[in-house]
């Protein structure tokens, strides 16, 4: 009859304990890694949000400046005059074409001496 080896049980238990410790260690490493990745993503989202905040603040300042311009009396008068074609009392509105190239072709520029202009006017 063989006597059971007590060392075999100890070796088997030590191996099982080692495997359990290795498994716990790997789980701990993975947990720390996942925490690091989530922290990194959080910082990236924070940086992205701060950039968006700066952009929105800049747009807000531009819109506030534009609102001040639009609410001014000068702008209101300009809109009334230009868009609505209204005028003040005793004021004459002259509408000029936007394309001045056709006007400049119709006008003749003649550099004559003044005496010839008077002569042409009298005759």
Say if residues 104 and 96 touch (Cβ distance below 8 Å): no
The answer to whether residue 56 is domain-embedded is yes
Quote the CA–CA distance of 17 and 11 in Å, as a whole number.
10
The answer to whether residue 31 is domain-embedded is yes
Residue 12's pLDDT band (boundaries 50, 70, 90)? confident
Domain with 36 in it: 6-90
The answer to whether residue 60 is domain-embedded is yes
Q: What are phi and psi of 113, to 5 degrees?
A: -65, 155
The answer to whether residue 38 is domain-embedded is yes
Domain count of the chain? 1
The answer to whether residue 14 is domain-embedded is yes
Say if residues 93 and 85 touch (Cβ distance below 8 Å): yes
Model pLDDT, residue 100: 63
Quote the CA–CA distance of 105 and 101 in Å, as a whole number.
7
The answer to whether residue 44 is domain-embedded is yes
Model pLDDT, residue 92: 77
The answer to whether residue 63 is domain-embedded is yes
**64-96 residue pLDDT tens:** 999 999 999 999 888 888 888 777 788 777 777
């Amino acid at each position: 009859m063989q006597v059971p080896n007590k060392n075999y049980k100890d070796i088997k238990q030590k191996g099982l304990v080692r495997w359990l410790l290795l498994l716990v260690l790997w789980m701990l490493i993975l947990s720390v890694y996942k925490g690091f990745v989530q922290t990194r993503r959080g910082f990236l989202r924070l940086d992205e949000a701060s950039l968006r905040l700066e952009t929105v603040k800049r747009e807000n300042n531009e819109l506030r400046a534009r609102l001040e311009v639009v609410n001014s009396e000068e702008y209101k008068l300009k809109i009334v005059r230009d868009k609505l074609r209204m005028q003040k009392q005793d004021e004459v509105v002259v509408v000029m074409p936007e394309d001045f190239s056709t006007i400049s072709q119709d006008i003749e520029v003649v550099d004559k001496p003044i005496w010839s202009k008077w002569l042409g006017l009298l005759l």
